[in-house]
Structure 1
Amino acid sequence: MKELEVCPSVSCTTFISTPAAGISEAAAVVEIVEADGWRDPPWRASLGAESRHRKYRQVVDRWHVDFADLTGGHGLLGQVEGRVSTVVAAWLTAQPTTWRGAITHMAIDMCAIFRSAIRAALPHARIVVDHFHLVQLVKARLAELRRRLTWKMRGRRGRKGDPEYDHRRLLRAAAEELTDQRRTVLERDLTRIGTYGRHILAGWHAKEKLRDLLALARTHPARSQISHRLHAFYAWCADHAYLPELVTLAATVEAWQSEIEAFLSHRDHQRQEGGDQPSHQARSPRRVRLSQPCQPTPLVTLRNHARQQKPSHPCSISKTSNVWPSTD
């Protein structure tokens, strides 16, 4: 629904009003189900503006939870309004017993509400957390570290001309995607800043050590491999315990360690997430999304594609081509 830009209140009302919205006894077996919660903007969840005071009354909950099939290709299975454990557990328990018994794994983000609801409704199912949410979390912690140290060092927000601000895209990039020259420039410029720059660089190394752990997905790792890389990540965060962002990150990973290990060791879920890819491509985070209608390629994508395939001389470009980047 996020890709289709459909209002959750509209989609939820459609599911409720449809007679066959529930899962029937003859429904196909679903082994892996994803529960994903997302929030709608306030203006979509509010209706009934008063003409005098221009105030809006909230008629639906801003949070909605989607249930999707990750292996069978059945797409969206259901949607509920609200993001509380009782609502999620009620939807799961309302489904047929045979359908619930066939579920072996539940894929969620790092939300304690989902975990408690699944443990109550599906005690036999194993909970997994994929690397999409972990990579998103570690990048957010690294950005928080950079902003905090920039404000502490300069007394203002980062802006153009500050090395840590100019290299913010390199800090978010994966290590294997950086050339040797770019990595050298990143480490050199951050080291020249001083102590705060080395702290930011330590946060970047923590991100890469966590990504080293997630790189074991789809490789059928042994338990010893997972433990070794987990220890390397925890040891790095412990050595830099003076950085609260790394402490918070390590505590979150520790709280969800069993769910992360379940994702790394489960083969079917990894195959659906990214397919059989070589090990050097396994670190790119991918997330299964619902199918969406074909849309025209954005002009920005076309321009970037044309820029990457830039010919040796501008005269070789066709006059009818409309994808060549502007020279403004």
Structure 2
Amino acid sequence: MQLNAAIDEFILYIQIEKNYSSHTIASYEYDLNQFFAFLRDHDCSMELAFVTKIQVRRFIQHLLGTHKQKPRSMNRKISCLKSFTKYCIQEKYLMHDFMSGIETPKSDYKLPVYMTLNDIKQLFRSLEHDHSRFSRRNEAMFKLLATTGMRRSELVSLTWEQLDFSNHTIRIYGKGKKERLLPLHSNLIPILKVYRDLLEGYQTYRTEPVFRNKDGKTLDPRGLHLIFKSALRKADLPPSRFSLHHLRHTFATLMLQENKENVDLRTLQELLGHESITSTEVYTHVEFEQKKKAIDSFNIL
């Protein structure tokens, strides 16, 4: 079987049978096509059965060396290739696993970047005092992200039927189309209603997107990113320091830092929609921050 045909079958499988998100599908397709292009450009066989472990290792070396690929991105590509070979063996397209024994590069561990409580309050004050054309939309968007820990992909795909103002809840469709029901902060309800009342009637129909761009179309993640950078500048916060994903880190960090008596890691895992508690445990760096405060305030020296 030709490698490109197997890739097409695999992408169809994760799209139809596994019901992966469009973002995940696009990432897998990009990674596999990149591997395919590497083999083609190096005059390797395009037959799936002739792909070897040595070629995979050279592909990894090529990306880490020539393209200066970061270990975290490389790990994603390796994980993608492992899922691909597992599928091919399952479907009997492949008799040997050319990914067997391939290990992921060691990643440099970094603590998540997040905004302090003062930073987020500064951003909120700026949003509240802004009276430009899309100010109420922006206030609703970024306060929703900061108080729910939603991913930006979850926000741009949000429709009005996912918001229940009567019960103060929001239904979020996360990775793999998995649903989670979260409570909405009581102070956020009037902000969302003010924003909704500024829209045309048809724009608030239950299947319509909650947030739109300047042309009235659904926001895309890149557009949301640019709006956030602009909001940071208006709030006198460095746009080079923070990204949209840092709002998610901020939500998780401040939730543990400021509300520790009501939140444990399991609760935070449910709020963030993490499949594994391991992903949530990165936020235990908050414990270190609290220990540092305790040491610094210890008047012994």
The higher-RCO structure (CA 8 Å, 6+ apart) is 2
TM-score, structure 2 length as denominator? Answer: 0.27
TM-score, structure 1 length as denominator? Answer: 0.26
Bigger helix fraction: 2
Bigger strand fraction: 1
